[in-house]
Amino acid sequence: MEKRWWKESVVYQIYPRSFCDSNGDGIGDLNGITEKLDYLKELGIDVIWLSPVYQSPNDDNGYDISDYQAIMKEFGTMEDFDNMIAAAHERGIKILMDLVVNHTSDEHKWFIESRKSTDNPYRDYYIWRPAKEDGSLPNNWGSCFSGPAWEYDQATDMYYLHLFSKKQPDLNWDNPAVRQDVFDMMNWWLKKGVDGFRMDVISLISKEPGLPDKEPGINGYATFNVSANGPHVHEYLQEMREKVLNNADTMTVGECSGVTLEEAKKYACSDEKELNMVFQFEHMDVDADEKTGKWCTRKMNLCDLKEIMTRWQKGLQDVAWNSLYLENHDQPRSVSRFGNDSDKYRELSAKMLATCLHMMQGTPYVYQGEELGMTNCPFDTLDNIRDLESINAYHELTQQGKISHEDMMAAINYKGRDNARTPMQWSDEKNAGFTTGTPWIMVNPNYTKINAMEQLSREDSVFRYYQKLIRLRHENEIIVYGTYDLLLPDDPDIYAYTRSLGADKLLVVCNFSENTRTFSIPDQFTNGSIMISNYKDPTIQNNMSIRPYEAFVIKK
């Protein structure tokens, strides 16, 4: 397997709005990030993925961009950006920009032009269609944020396509001028010194010709995934590779909604003609419900998770490269979802989840606060919710009678995106030390107990555990490149696997339950040594008793 720096790196995702506010307006900003680079250096990460910092009216918190070459006012200035990137590079930390080019904001100058007239030079930058002959919408596609994916526009008596909010019109990638403008913009950022891109819903950019009706989903519309892996997506990414990405030593990760293993082998193929790796979603759907999709409080079945992760670990071995994540700004907190966030088990289970993920093959991503074991937030009322996905889904699904008010609020508290977007918990001071002003979204009340300052003061904290996992990965090639093999596929509580590289071998054992279980250590590991563990000093023996949420790694 070819060695690459981006295979050996650990990435930390920053959601700037919620990371650190330097000027007391209640909104995180670039200078706030710069202030905290030493914290990230101490954690040991190599790369920062910065959620969007471009100019935006913030319908979807920066994922609706009105100028790709300007910084969002609330976040600071271009000079602040340049300072931040220089300060990161000084510390050996690379920066990935979030590239959101499936759509722009409706306030982007291209769209302002496009909607003016059918012969405007920018008309074909977007996807315009008239109503069907019977006056109905151009097709039955739905927006990811509820309702149809079409918005009527008076000026030309036509509809435009928006797979996300109506303030996020989809770009027409079949238009070569669109592609060239995007490539020029990307080259401009590379020249500025950024080290690569995380590409937002990049699997959706190539739409099926004729935009046909599709099988409707839960809310009556076909889901946005109808556009996943379209006919020209690989061609367009290869063009991007040639015209942009090959101009520098870049790292790229594509957010690929609806990606299958077979498609991932193309996007992230080791011939390096497209992207370095993709974010797949199968393990994020592991606890979805048939009737209400993600909006439920169902717990996953561990065997399903093992099956999915193993299929991707084995499937991409030697032919492509995995990314590893349990959290990001679109997902709830993993300790509340896959672990146990009670006082008794929160730290243990957060470390267990980290062990399970960080010992796999692929590039690990840590989402801000995950390294503290931050939990979901008790929002309780819709007034406390800021995320348009949750708010729109609440209205749509309760009005359609698909779910009761109580169940939907429970689902939002459990799965809503705002769980990941509450302010980073720096200290037990007012507002968790995030801001001296009024935070744009509520602070999780548990910040008095769960915060970075407290965890830095303690050797056995979740933070220190992440620090150790990251260091181990940097020091042991087997953690990066070793082959993965699953043990006990049918065990409902224990996730155990091995990694092998040459004569070296690791055994990873993780208890996902509160049950104490016995586990028989394979012979070749009984004389091994503990590399890391979340309980003090487990004693390796043939029939080992595995305690609640226990995790350890044995080196042969």
Residues that bind ligand GLC (CB under 6 A): 60, 63, 100, 164, 200-201, 255, 329-330
> If residue 166 lies in a helix (H) or strand (E), which one and from where to where?
none
| 167 or 473: CB nearest ligand GLC | 167
115: left (phi over 0), alpha (psi -120 to 50) or beta: alpha
Is the distance from CB of 367 to CB of 420 less than 8 angstroms?
Answer: yes
Residue with token string 């093992």: 306
| 102 or 355: CB nearest ligand GLC | 102
Annotate 182-219 with DSSP letters as a single string.
HHHHHHHHHHHT--EEEETTGGGSSPPTT-------TT
| 27 or 494: CB nearest Ca ion | 27
Candidates 60, 170, 200, 347; catalytic one: 200
List of long-range contacts for 335-341, beta carbons under 8 Å, 24+ apart: 335/373, 335/374, 335/375, 336/375, 336/376, 336/414, 336/419, 337/287, 337/300, 337/376, 337/414, 337/415, 338/300, 338/305, 338/512, 339/512, 339/549, 340/514, 340/549, 341/375, 341/376
Question: Which of 185, 184, 115, 193 has its CA nearest to residue 152?
Answer: 115
Strand ranges (DSSP E) for 302-351?
Answer: 323-324
Least spacing, CB of residue 417 vs ligand GLC, in Å: 7
Tokens standing for 196? 């690569």
Least spacing, CB of residue 321 vs ligand GLC, in Å: 20
Least spacing, CB of residue 56 vs ligand GLC, in Å: 11
Catalytic residue status for 239:
no
Least spacing, CB of residue 82 vs Ca ion, in Å: 18
* Partner from ligand GLC, Ca ion, none binding residue 6, C-beta < 5-8 Å depending on class: none
* Partner from Ca ion, ligand GLC, none binding residue 25, C-beta < 5-8 Å depending on class: Ca ion
Residue with token string 């049918």: 490
Least spacing, CB of residue 288 vs ligand GLC, in Å: 16
* Partner from ligand GLC, Ca ion, none binding residue 21, C-beta < 5-8 Å depending on class: Ca ion
Least spacing, CB of residue 102 vs ligand GLC, in Å: 7
Candidates 255, 327, 418, 550; catalytic one: 255
Angle of the 462-475 helix axis to the 346-358 helix axis, nearest 10: 20
Is the distance from CB of 233 to CB of 101 less than 8 angstroms?
Answer: no
| 35 or 113: CB nearest Ca ion | 35
Tokens standing for 537? 């000093």
Task: Give me the residues paired with residue 198 across strands.
Answer: 98, 253
Query: What are the phi and psi torsion angles at 47 (to 5°)?
Result: -135, 140
- Estimate to the nearest angstrom the gap between the alpha carbon of 339 and the chain centroid: 18
Angle of the 176-192 helix axis to the 233-243 helix axis, nearest 10: 40
* Partner from ligand GLC, Ca ion, none binding residue 59, C-beta < 5-8 Å depending on class: none
Is the distance from CB of 353 to CB of 539 less than 8 angstroms?
Answer: no
| 170 or 341: CB nearest ligand GLC | 170
Least spacing, CB of residue 440 vs Ca ion, in Å: 9
Least spacing, CB of residue 27 vs Ca ion, in Å: 4
Residues that bind Ca ion (CB under 5 A): 21, 23, 25, 27, 29
Catalytic residue status for 200:
yes
CA dist., res. 265 & res. 311, Å (int)? 13
Least spacing, CB of residue 260 vs ligand GLC, in Å: 18
Annotate 252-275 with DSSP letters as a single string.
EEEE-TT--HHHHHHHT-TT-SS-
Neighbouring C-beta atoms of residue 311, cutoff 10 Å = 13
| Residue at shortest CB range from ligand GLC | 63
Positive or negative, the CA dihedral 183, 185, 189, 195 is negative
* Partner from ligand GLC, Ca ion, none binding residue 23, C-beta < 5-8 Å depending on class: Ca ion
Residue with token string 């049950």: 515
* Partner from Ca ion, ligand GLC, none binding residue 200, C-beta < 5-8 Å depending on class: ligand GLC
CA dist., res. 211 & res. 461, Å (int)? 52
Cα end-to-end span (Å), the chain: 22
Least spacing, CB of residue 63 vs ligand GLC, in Å: 3
CA dist., res. 460 & res. 347, Å (int)? 9
Specify the DSSP class assigned to residue 302.
Answer: H
User: What are the catalytic residues?
Assistant: 200, 255
